[in-house]
Chains A and B, each alone.
Chain A
Amino acid sequence: MAIKCGLEIHQRLSGKKLFCNCPAHVEGLKSEGAFSRKLAAAKSELGKSDIAVSFEVAKEKTFEYSFSECSACLVEADEEPPHKLNEEALAVVVALCKSLGSALVDEVHVMRKLVIDGSNTTGFQRTAIVGTGGKLATSKGDVRISTVCIEEESCAIGEEGKTSFSLDRLGIPLIEIATEPDVVDAAHAKETALGIGTLLRMSNCVQRGIGTIRQDVNISVDGGNRVEIKGLQELGMMETLVQKEEQRQRKLAQIGEEVQKRSNGKFEIGEQKIVDVSEIFLESKCALVKKGMQAGGVVLGICVPFHAGLLGKEVYEGRRYGSEVSDYAKAAGVRGIIHSDEDMEKYGISEDEVTELRFALSCKKEDAFVLVVAKEKIAQAALSLALKRLEGAATLGETRRAHPDGSSSFMRPLAGGARMYPETDVEPIRIDEVLLKKAGKIKIESPEEKLAGLCKILPEHMAKRMLMSRNLGIFERIVEEGIAPLLAATVLEDTLVALRRENVAVERIDEERLIAVFEEYRSGKITKAAIGELLRAVANEPQKEMSALVREKGLAKISGVELATLVKAENAQLGAIMAKYRLRVDAAEVQKLLKKN
């Protein structure tokens, strides 16, 4: 059997936040205030706490939130109920539903999805289905759309041990497009994500830039449990991510089979006894253990039957099964585990200590062990969680966090539908004629139509590049400002990329500043050749006034009488003048003056 894979694409929309009137565009601002909160588990609608939720509660954390006044208000601080759902954002989602062929619901019901890792001040994310069904045509057949949702952005994707958050991005409207598991392989996953991303950009109502689009991947192998991997930002890593996950799930299945083989199908971790083995380490040279015990911690251990040699097995290159177990333990607040397939010498644990340890834990030859060093309560919780992972080596239903290199790590158990209940503070929104009319005004061209339009103003190869580029929207805006299309495209697609390769922080140049740079050129204040240098200067000092940057970097264009005087004085050839004043003079103008002379 092959893999089953579906995608969830989250894209930030432009305009205002979803449930208040704060702008949706601000990030990375200075913190102007802070507060701290605790989150308690509310019982789910079925009267039971959802598994993913209770997992977080086990951690009993205090979360710190910082905010800047212009990007967040009392709504984000959970000090004021949400206002009405942003109808402009809803109209965009309705328009996109139509272009995907999704059937609109007639009344949008906002739900609360419990997420108590601190990434939402409320302890839940507000989300609503706007459309269901529809499809995206791909080279490997249609990928069906299951749902199109509108939802609020969280403070951040919960990171390991993360307890401090900024409210800047909380509440930004997101469109979430979820596909059925019709994706057949890693390359197809990338193609599908790219296709949806392009469609989203066609609306011109979405935000651009790193972090404004995220791909979640749902994947299961050979009918095993589903794993959700959240927060992939770089589409370029999609294939690697899917490949690695496929590999991981297959490897886990193999490990599971091996355990069953060794145990004649009798392996069951059950209530494995957690043993305090601190005494063995009283004189230990192991720095990690010493430090932990000095801080009031204990060393707790468990025996893992039939697992000798398996914790060290790689699930994919650079990641061992032991790391998978460690991820679970970390959720309780420990920094990691020590397991028997690791190099004990590296830890400074002696052979005698290992022998004593194995004895204390009743470890047989075919068994492995796992240790944690922490305060007793935390250590207990950590090993209990590690046991959850060890229960069955096969893939567990998990939510995992995507890393930039295409690998992933465990976040929490996969949540069920049980963690949803209605957001009674927001009234249901009827999708009526007024809203449909508003959505109708949002023009979403098909990619083919868009390409045809671009080909009219750009050479074909550049038009194709522009179509797939996340800079498409800003390109169109720059062209509207009267800049030559080819120049705009070249600067966006080549100059900025080249600067990024030189490690210039081009992401610090926002849309307005980018347009201001083009304006400097259009109004004749700088030459075409200086655009790149000015962009570099803006990236380095994004707050500084444009005219000051031009002056300080010596980029002001020399022309007219000044240039004529210069040409006369230099009395040189075009080449010599250009070599000296490359960024400040226009070659055509110099040539003209030389001819005159």
Chain B
Amino acid sequence: MTSSADATPAGRGAQAPRLAVEDLSITFGRTQVLHDVAFDVRPGEIHALVGQNGSGKSTVAKILTGLYSPDAGSRVSVDGHALSLPVRPDEARSRGVAVVHQSLGLVKDATVLENARVGRLTGSRFLRRIDWKAEAAATEAVFERLGRRIPLDVPVGSLREDERATVAIARALQDISPGTGLIIFDESTRSLGRDALEQFFAMLDGVVATGTAALLITHRLEEVVDAADRVTVLRDGRAVVAGREVAGLDKPGLASLMLGRNAADLEEREPAHVRTEEKPVEVRRLTGLRVRDVSFDVRPGEVLGLTGLGGSGYDDVPYLLTGVSAATEGTVSLPRGPVRVKKLSPAKAVDAGMALVPEGREHAGLAVAMTVAENIAFPQTAPRAGVLPLAAHAERTRAEEWIEKLDVRPPLPHAVVGNLSGGNQQKVLLAKWLATDPDLLVLHEPTQAVDVGARQIIVAAVRAAAAEGRAVVVAGSDENEIALLCDRVLVFSDGVVREELTGEIMPQDVVSAIYTDAPRSRLRERSAAAG
């Protein structure tokens, strides 16, 4: 540590803030997206920046990383030195600002060492060869600061989640001398599971304890409530709360700040409408991928949750059931008749009355360059590839119905899906499959990476779909989502169902069932130094 005042851990003194953002505005065309946003990040704190999709949160991130150029009059300064705008990444880096990008921003096929040193590799004087020994030593030194050991010569793709998080943090940290600097986490944690998340915050806690600051841009309210010191909330491009102490703030309180209305009923679940008199959908002896001989029933009107640790197989079930991944054995009895899942094709699964809302809307969910109406109609138009004209009018009308039901914005059937916000895209994805009127609706992480408002609508729509008499299966790792959606939960371990949760299900119950060996702790155990 240096002798400057910055070295004081978690200094709340009078020195300049680590990062100060003042009068930050940006206008696209005629639309002003940010209005005089101001907040500061102090040395040694974790400062959370939150807001719904479309609140301007990612726009702030893009300005701070130099992708967007803010309007004149905006000011961004680091340790009291104003940065030139638009932000030049090299200048920001030399002032000690490092960025960890969305989903950690690592290249899976490259090794740990290559990932850590990319952009910093130095050539030798004459032949411009890379001195890998020196590079490796520099990287080892950073891992040492984090107190972790990770092999340098393996591809990042082969690492565990928490190890990947370590590599990402190490890469950001290596340009920052201990006790100084700022790390911006731009939605970095969105793909991390619970276990990795706890380790992530344990590491981050160690980093900020030295006086380095962290700006955490995130969707997860829990990260803010559990792990941040102060929070700035953006709503409609304005900072409605700037730098409020997190202590004493709970999730509903934070959600209502983000939504601008009271969200007390946000986490309330509709009563179940399970139709016990009707024949359940019976899944028998399902085997394939990591799932081994699993059987369960889902009644019409019931929402059944599947959860477990990563690799326990709960997240393979949706794809095995619907013929997307090859199952080696298993049957599903549906109202339209029994189905053997071995050699089942997606087309036959749809015919049999199953619908899958997959994880990853950009990868498998929606064609983002096509319109909302085309996407919603696609499961109906796909199986019969004739050359008779499509019913364009009916397609439009159906799209309008679903747009209204799920409050998709903007409410335009011909809007290109890629132009919608993440939450609205997720609504379109749900509408696309609800429109097939399935008897068994299977969802995987249905509210992943959507804002609070969209989440509320999606949860209500899934509950409503069940209330109409559908059997619903939700596979997910987010305990809040599972607790909110499900009437009954199956917890997986090593490819089999280990535990069943019934009755009133709280997020804590889900987590403690998943981590039987490791009871859930707060995301961040603040270190003594930071207190």
Asked if A pairs with B, the answer is: no
Listed in ascending order, the chain B residues whose CB lies under 8 Å from chain A are: none
